[in-house]
Structures are given as structure tokens and as C-alpha cells.
Structure 1
Amino acid sequence: MIINIRWRDRKMKHRKLMVFILMIAFAFILTACGTSENEGQSSEDQTKEEDQNEDTSVIEHEMGKTEISGTPEKVVALEFSFVDNLASLGVSPVGIADDNDKERIIEPIRKKISDYTSVGTRKQPSLEVISSLQPDLIIADMKRHKDIYDQLSEIAPTIILPSLAADYEGIIDSFETVAKTMGMEEKGQEVLKEHKAKMEELRAKVPEDEDRTVLPAVVADSGYFAHNMESYTGSLLESIGLKNAIQSGDARYNKINLEQVVEFNPDVMFHMSTGDQTVVDEWKNNDLYQDISAVKNDEVYEVDRNMWSRFRGLISSEKILEDAIRYLYE
């Protein structure tokens, strides 16, 4: 009897030991699985974080730096040059500051973009309308919009670039920044390469011995606004060998009188007329005006102000030079 009891005690102890060992083993398995799961989650989270970092770019512009997450799909352009930039990249903006006049969008650009919402004038775009479009990117001009940069930035990520005060090279720089912001640097370089090739073709059409001076000017009833060699149009014409008549001056856009035009005495004048009556209509009967080389030689040309003055970009640059060469040589 005593032997039997001892045997049962041993058996019970053996069972307890086995249960204890199984419990420890089970706990170890659970811990290992939990660690593996946590490691998997950590790796997945890390991958997501890396992907997010890859999708976020920091764009430097005139007002500092702006973070852009992903690829902007709803873009608002507050200057025509930025519309040109986007159209060159095959992007259609959802909103444009078109001065409440869709006719200001030049035909070559109009063909490349879809319908859009007008957000008012370039000088005073409507923040309410811009906000209603829920953009993920706003592109604004340094000269016109720097004072509302903070308000624009509250609506959407905003970059400020030179446009109104930029020369031709500045416009090229802005295009490259827009391409980078859109995540389209490679395509931007392809577009820019094609543009430069086109510019070389146009330059080749200007004779090497061309020595005439040219003067582009906005002509209105309020005055004669000459564009010097540092202005967008002036520098663009100079880029293919057409020398501007005004090689100095503090301002790129100068309001000048008839006596000053006579002093500069351009051989060719490109007039971007606005309104039914302009100051030139008053000058035409004046002997001083008639004595200007461009007038005497019948080389005063009326050109599209939207194309030659308001739009500044790759597409419009090519069209302006095509116009100039046609007038001068064809």
C-alpha cells in the first residue's frame, strides 16, 4: 500500500513537471511570435515612412522653402508665364488668374489646356475662389503676390517665382523650378532641350551682320512704355542677335516721351497696342515722330500684346521670335 502511494506521488509530480515545461514552452512561442510580429510591423512602418519621405520634396523659391507632398494634381497659376510652364509640361491648371478675360490666354496655350476656373485678376486674385478649388499647389509671382504669400500658403503649398520682373533667362529658371515642383524634372529637361534647339533654329535666321536696333513697347492712351534690353521681351530678342535700342536704364519697363523715342531712334519698333486710341495716334502728325528711323523705313509693327507682353514662357517665347523673324525677314 505504501509503495502504491509513493508511485502515485511520483506520477503526480511528473505530470506537474510536464505541465510546467509545456507552459514555459508555450509562453516562449507566444513571445517569439509577438516579437516577430512587432518586427514585421516596425519594418512595414519604416517602409511607409521611407515612401512618404520619397514622395515629399522641398522646393526653394523667392520666399523660402515649401514642402510638396506627392505630385500636385490641382494647380492654380497666378501669372500667365506659369500657365505657359505648366502647358509645356502637359499639365492643365484648375485655376488661372486670367484678368477675368479668357481671351487673354493665347491660342497656342489654349490648345494645350483644359477648361479652368478664373480666379480673378493677376494683380488681385480672389483668395475665396482659389480656396474653393481646394488646390494642392499655388504658383505665384514675386512682384505681384509676395504680400499675400502667407494667405496663399494657408490655402495650399505655395511657391513664389519671378515672372513680371524676370528677363528671358529668369523665365527659364522659373520653368525648371515648376518642373521640379511637379515631380517632372526629367520631362522638363526634355522640353527645355527641344526649346533650346528651336531657339537655335530661329537664331540661325538672323543674319550675322544684322545691325538694326529694335524697340518693343506697350502703347496705350496713358503713354509709351518701352521695354529695354533687360526686360523679358527685350532680352528675348537680344538672345537671337536683335539689339535693343535702350541699353541702359534703371527700370526694365520705361514710360518715355516722344523726345526720348527720337533720341533712342530705333530702326524697328514692335508696338503692343492696348485700347482704341494710343499716344502714338497723337504723335503720327508730329514731324519728330515721322523722323524716327523705324517710321521713315516703314518698320513699325503692331503685335499681339497678350503674346508679346503678358505671356512669358517657352511656348510664347518661340511664338514671339517667329513673329519677329517673319516681320523682319519674310
Structure 2
Amino acid sequence: MKVWKFFVMSLMFVFVVVLSACGTVGEDNASDGNSSEDSESTDEDTRVIEHEMGETEISGQPENVVALEFSFVDNLASLGVSPVGIADDDDEERIIEPIREKIGDYTSVGTRKQPSLEVISSLQPDLIIADMKRHKDIYDQLSEIAPTIILPSLAADYDGIIDSFETVSLALGMEDEGQDVLADHEEKMEELRASVPEDENRTVLPAVVADSGYFAHNMESYTGSLLESIGLENAIQDGDDRYNKINLEQVVEFNPDVMFHMATGENTVVNEWESEELYQNVNAVKNDEVYEVDRNMWSRFRGLISSEKILEDAVNYLYE
């Protein structure tokens, strides 16, 4: 009898040990599986974005974005993202209408040259997009507030603006959406290129005109390279500076066939030149091909939306 009881108790002990071991294995397997999934999910949510000042790690999809240059506002609007803060030079009228319609309300963070770090911080951003030329010296301070990427804008040509858009798309976790937007943009660009006759041989000169001078944009500037991208040759094909302050004699020397003037203020240097015989002998003036265009659109905004609008303007002026 004692032997039988001992045998039964031994079987029960073995059964308990086996159940315990199975439970432990199950828990371990479950734990291992969850850790793997969590790790994989974290890896997918975190990405390293390369930019002009190095690399920035961004997790998830940023929702509170601050843009310190107008081209980045254009980038965000193209992707259907509304920035919480914009360096708008304390003037909301500088936001061009096609973009204002898309982004809604925002908080001004001051000027593009000197944005307010205090206001930026108060918005609790999870991404700041800044310009290499204007903001590289405050990159560290911006990075203390939120993940920051520095991209070319002020000194970029049209191709550089496209590259910056792609980087912004990656930073937002919207790479696929960005490629769709670029495909639509390229289709629009092809339509605009088709509007320019193959035998077009006029030279064009976009320029900011102010009372302080005449600032010509050469073929490597944003506006100059944009016009060239559809077959409109810039009158200035050399020089180290994309934006050149030139005098009347130099305008005569370049002798553009078409001039697009981005006027600042009511009275500019051109008003003084109009009584000069030299100015009247410039091809564009003689042929009545001097057009005043919106400086905000043609110079300050540099993005996909503004690029399309600029070229639509140019085509309408030249081929209406």
C-alpha cells in the first residue's frame, strides 16, 4: 500500500514539473515574440535624416512642425501638412494665396533672419526645418528645442529645392506621399515645357528691383534655373553670384529680350532709369516685354506650388 501511494505521489510530482516547464517555455516564447515586435516597430518608427549639418534622428510622424523659410512652408503645404509656426517676417501677407488656403492658422515665430527661439519653444514642436544660409549658426539652439534639419533654400537652385522637398518628405515619414506629389509636379512641368515653342530664342532676366538697386537673378538662381528648366534662357550665363546687383550699363550689356521685375516698394531704380536713353534701348524695353510680377511668389517662395505658379505666369505673359 505504501509503495502504491509513493508511486502515485511520484507521478503527480512529475506532472507538476512538466506543467511548470511548459508554462515557463510558453512565457519565454511569448516574451521573446513581443520584444521582437516592439523592437521592429521602434526601428520602423525611427529614422535618421541626413541634412546640411549632419544627421538627425526622428521618431514617429511629426505633427507640430515649425518652418523657418518659405520654401519649407511650400513643402509642407504640398504634402497636406499645416505648420504650427512659420517665420513669416511678421507679415502674414507674405504667405502666397495658393499656400495660405492649404495651411490655415499658424503662429508667427518672427523673421526668417532672426526667428524667436522663445516663441518656437512655446509651440513644443517635434520637428524644425531651417535654412542653411540663415540658420546654421543657431542649429545647436534649435536642436535643443526639437529635432532640427537644416536644408538649402535661400542659396538653392530649382534642383536643390526638389532635393529639399524629398528630405522633408522623409523627415515627416511621408516618403510615398512625397513621391506621388513629385510625380504630379513633373507632369505639370511637362505641360509647361510643352507651352514653350522649340524655336524660342529670347533671353529672360528675372530681377528684384528696389530703390537701393537692381538685383539680377542669373541662370543658377532659383528663379533663373526654374525658367531655364522649361527652355527660357537666362540673359546672365556666367558669374559666381546667383544674385547680382548690377547697374544700368550692365543691363544694357546683357540686353535681355524679356525682363520680369519683382518690385519692392512703389519707387525703384527702374523708375529713375525710364527717362534714360540707355534703358530705352534695351531689347525688352523696346519690345514692351517688361513684366512686373509678385515678389513673394517669384522670389521669396521656392517650392513646388510656387514653381508651378511662376511658370504659369511666365507662359501667360509670353504666349497669351
Task: Give the shorter-chain TM-score range.
Answer: over 0.9
Bigger mean CA offset, 102-111 vs 206-215: 206-215
How far apart in 2 are the matches of 1:223 and 1:277? 11
How far apart are 1:220 and its partner, in Å? 0.9
Gaps of 5+ in 2: none
How far apart are 1:22 and its partner, in Å? 3.3
How far apart are 1:14 and its partner, in Å? 5.5
Q: Which amino acid aligns with 2:185?
A: H
User: Which of these residues, 56, 59, 67, is aligned with residue 57 of structure 2?
Assistant: 67
User: Which residue does the alignment assign to 1:248?
Assistant: 238
How far apart in 2 are the matches of 1:90 and 1:315? 12
Bigger mean CA offset, 106-115 vs 173-182: 173-182
Q: Which amino acid aligns with 2:54?
A: G
User: Which residue does the alignment assign to 2:216?
Assistant: 226
How far apart are 1:201 and its partner, in Å? 1.0
Give secondary structure in 2 for the equivalent of 1:26.
Answer: helix
Q: Which amino acid aligns with 2:114?
A: Q
* Aligned: 1:113 with 2:81: no
* Aligned: 1:35 with 2:25: yes
How far apart in 2 are the matches of 1:325 and 1:300? 14
User: Which residue does the alignment assign to 2:166?
Assistant: 176
User: Which of these residues, 44, 51, 55, is aligned with residue 54 of structure 1?
Assistant: 44
* Aligned: 1:296 with 2:286: yes
Instruction: String of CA shifts for 1:168-194, please: whole Å, max 9, x gaps.
Output: 111111111111222222221221111
User: Which residue does the alignment assign to 2:206?
Assistant: 216
Bigger mean CA offset, 112-121 vs 287-296: 287-296
How far apart in 1 are the matches of 2:316 and 2:19? 84
How far apart in 2 are the matches of 1:27 and 1:156? 54
User: Which of these residues, 312, 315, 318, is aligned with residue 305 of structure 2?
Assistant: 315
How far apart in 2 are the matches of 1:190 and 1:20? 70
| Bigger radius of gyration | 1
- The alignment yields a C-alpha RMSD, in angstroms, of 1.5
* Aligned: 1:278 with 2:268: yes
How far apart are 1:35 and its partner, in Å? 3.2
User: Which of these residues, 66, 71, 85, is aligned with residue 95 of structure 1?
Assistant: 85
User: Which residue does the alignment assign to 1:265?
Assistant: 255
User: Which of these residues, 160, 180, 183, is aligned with residue 190 of structure 1?
Assistant: 180
User: Which of these residues, 89, 111, 130, is aligned with residue 120 of structure 2?
Assistant: 130
How far apart in 2 are the matches of 1:266 and 1:141? 31
How far apart are 1:118 and its partner, in Å? 0.8
How far apart in 1 are the matches of 2:125 and 2:153? 21
Give secondary structure in 1 for the equivalent of 2:259.
Answer: strand
Q: Which amino acid aligns with 1:316?
A: S
User: Which residue does the alignment assign to 1:152?
Assistant: 142
* Number of aligned residues: 320
Q: Which amino acid aligns with 2:238?
A: S
How far apart are 1:206 and its partner, in Å? 1.2
How far apart are 1:276 and its partner, in Å? 2.4
Give secondary structure in 1 for the equivalent of 2:196.
Answer: coil
How far apart are 1:17 and its partner, in Å? 6.1
How far apart in 1 are the matches of 2:96 and 2:263? 16
Q: Which amino acid aligns with 1:53?
A: D
Bigger mean CA offset, 102-111 vs 286-295: 286-295
How far apart in 2 are the matches of 1:101 and 1:292? 35
How far apart are 1:18 and its partner, in Å? 4.5
How far apart are 1:317 and its partner, in Å? 0.6
How far apart in 2 are the matches of 1:297 and 1:33? 90
Among the aligned pairs, what percent are the same residue? Answer: 76
User: Which of these residues, 301, 315, 320, is aligned with residue 325 of structure 1?
Assistant: 315
Give secondary structure in 2 for the equivalent of 1:172.
Answer: helix
Q: TM-score, normalised by structure 1?
A: 0.93
Give secondary structure in 1 for the equivalent of 2:207.
Answer: strand
Q: Which amino acid aligns with 2:308?
A: E
Instruction: String of CA shifts for 1:263-297, please: whole Å, max 9, x gaps.
Output: 11111111101122211122222222222111122
Give secondary structure in 2 for the equivalent of 1:112.
Answer: helix
How far apart in 1 are the matches of 2:7 and 2:109? 81
Q: Which amino acid aligns with 1:324?
A: A
Give secondary structure in 1 for the equivalent of 2:102.
Answer: coil
Give secondary structure in 1 for the equivalent of 2:110.
Answer: coil
Runs (4+) off by over 2 Å? 13-32
